[in-house]
Structure 1
Amino acid sequence: MPRFLTMVRIDENNVPEEGFSPEMGQRMGALLEEITKAGVMLDTAGLTPTAQGTRVTWSGGKLSYTDGPFTETKEVIGGYSITQCKDMAEAVEWAKRFLQVHDENFTVTCEVRQIDED
């Protein structure tokens, strides 16, 4: 069965100051329990802010390093999940359900990609 990487994209500058509501936490917990019991979820986590990250770039035969935050970037990967689904349609359905548990004051995008296992 194919595996899928879902990258959760956020705009770090527009994350609600108050964070998520207790109700959203309950909805998220219920969804994570459901997807885990279904045997679909292999791994998931949120990521620390870009201010705590470093980019390593290879260009022109040289390495360069840039410490965060990355102000020129509007959207960053704020978390991920690795799922094992029967097909892309099922992986997208789980991503949709993940997005829908968020409070309305959040703007979140999921990019779902199949892991190349050839």
Structure 2
Amino acid sequence: MTTILLDHIHFRSRHPEAVADFLSRHFDVEIVERMEVRGLPRVVLRIGDVAIFVEGATDDMPRVPGMPFRGIEHVCVRVSDIAAHAARLEQAGVTLLSPVSQIRPGVQIAFVEAPDGILIEMIERLTA
């Protein structure tokens, strides 16, 4: 049987360094490389075994519509203490798009927006 693993997540932004800095500062994502691809800057980050490419975008590239929409809407990161992490983000000046809320027993979420409109969901799955 074929093994299938998530290899990378690919963002586009007019400000790839700002997105990389945001993810690095607030979500412990490691910046591993900077390069140019097809004439645009790319910052390569890593979270666990998954690479994140934040590649430059031009002003004429269309933005995604507002939530909800079809297609990839956001990326979710699992955190061990969502209330504490949300408080640290707010203390650092990051605005929560939604407060920490329980969506079902044992599952809490909150959303933040990285530079250039990239949506990040935080989730905590409590164990019984």
| Bigger fraction of residues in helix | 1
| Bigger fraction of residues in strand | 2
Does 1 or 2 have the higher relative contact order (CA < 8 Å, sep 6+)?
Answer: 1
> TM-score w.r.t. structure 1 length?
0.33
> TM-score w.r.t. structure 2 length?
0.31
